Amino acid sequence: MIAIHPMSLVSLALFVALSGCTAPPVRSSPPEITQVGAMRAVMRDGQSEARVSLSSVQFVPGVIAVGMEPGLAGEITACDGECWSSRVVDRLPDGTTVLETVSLGGPPASGAATMLTVGRVLAWNETVLESPCDLEGLLTRAEALARETGLEADWSFPMQVIAPTACVTAHVAAGACPHGDPEGAAASPPWRFDGETEGRVRIVGFRIVGGGGVSTHHGRRDHLHALFEVDGELVSAHLDDVTVPKGTVVRVPRDWV
């Protein structure tokens, strides 16, 4: 099960700074996942104040993080030692939202999150899909690979998906989450993408057990973000749905903090 810890900048920094062995040991406990903020409180109850400074989180290689900026002003994604912020920066007369994704570096010099889910993987196991797969199929395949490689069925874990292209449905909140606050999102529409990507897609985040209302939306067992290009520009967005082709790589932890 996911471990929900009280917010502690010191413990969060120590958690992501730990190192491990080169050979994965036999593990009796799941990957540690640190949760700051909770979805229901942030998205339904309006408690979207800044809870953690991004400069306090050591986004070293192996760290996976997904979250939201204070005020639900944008999405936060981290992997491979780098962190990105995506937010709506303009609305055109026709209602089109203009998105900007900025690399905050690693660690970021500024910025904050109202909600952040963080884990660190020291080594990955992976499999290559032999046929196209939708989001449910991806989660099922990741869970099967996790069991094959020693993770228990009720353990939550970080995951990655690398696809040469994909049909993606994703959004970036702009003051309200379309899942948690549909009325607020109607008044302040998010940026949305629904279609085929121009090239490679990287999906990062978590398969979560029992996290509804905390680290996942109710009724879901995933909190995933997608990194892909739109008109030649990198986008980081909350993943709503996806279909990936044959040849897509699915990764689950082999060794972890």
Measured in whole angstroms, how far is the alpha carbon of residue 48 from the centre of its chain? Answer: 18
Give pTM, 2 decimals: 0.88
| Residue 12: predicted pLDDT | 54
The answer to whether 202 and 165 have CB atoms below 8 angstroms apart is: no
Spatial distance between the Cα atoms of 71 and 82, rounded to a whole number of angstroms: 23
Which of 5 and 197 is assigned the larger pLDDT? 197
**What letter would DSSP give residue 232?**
T
Closest CA to 139 of 117, 156, 122: 156
Angle at alpha carbon of residue 172, lines to 14 and 71, rounded to 5°: 65
Beta strands in 92-164 (DSSP E): 97-105, 112-113, 115-128, 133-134, 157-163
| Residue 6: predicted pLDDT | 41
Residue 97's alpha-carbon distances to 17, 49, 216, in angstroms, are 37, 24, 25
Residue 114 has pLDDT above 80, yes or no: yes
Q: What is the dihedral of CA 60, 63, 65, 70, to 10 degrees?
A: -20
The string of pLDDT tens digits covering residues 50-101 is 999 998 888 889 999 999 999 999 999 999 889 999 999 999 999 899 999 9
Q: Tokens 């010191």 identify what position?
A: 10
Residue 20 has pLDDT above 80, yes or no: no
| Residue 86: predicted pLDDT | 96
| Residue 26: predicted pLDDT | 65
Which of 22 and 132 is assigned the larger pLDDT? 132
The answer to whether 56 and 7 have CB atoms below 8 angstroms apart is: no
Q: How many CA atoms lie within 13 A of 170 on its CB side?
A: 30
Q: Tokens 């969060």 identify what position?
A: 12
Phi, psi (deg, nearest 5) at residue 52: -145, 135
The three-class DSSP label of residue 199 is coil
For the chain, what is the mean pLDDT? 88
**What letter would DSSP give residue 182?**
H
**What letter would DSSP give residue 57?**
S
Per-residue confidence band for 45, with pLDDT thresholds at 50, 70 and 90: confident
Residue 117 has pLDDT above 50, yes or no: yes
Residue 100's alpha-carbon distances to 50, 85, 87, in angstroms, are 20, 8, 6
Per-residue confidence band for 179, with pLDDT thresholds at 50, 70 and 90: confident
Domains of the chain: 9-118 (3.30.1330), 123-256 (3.30.1330.80)
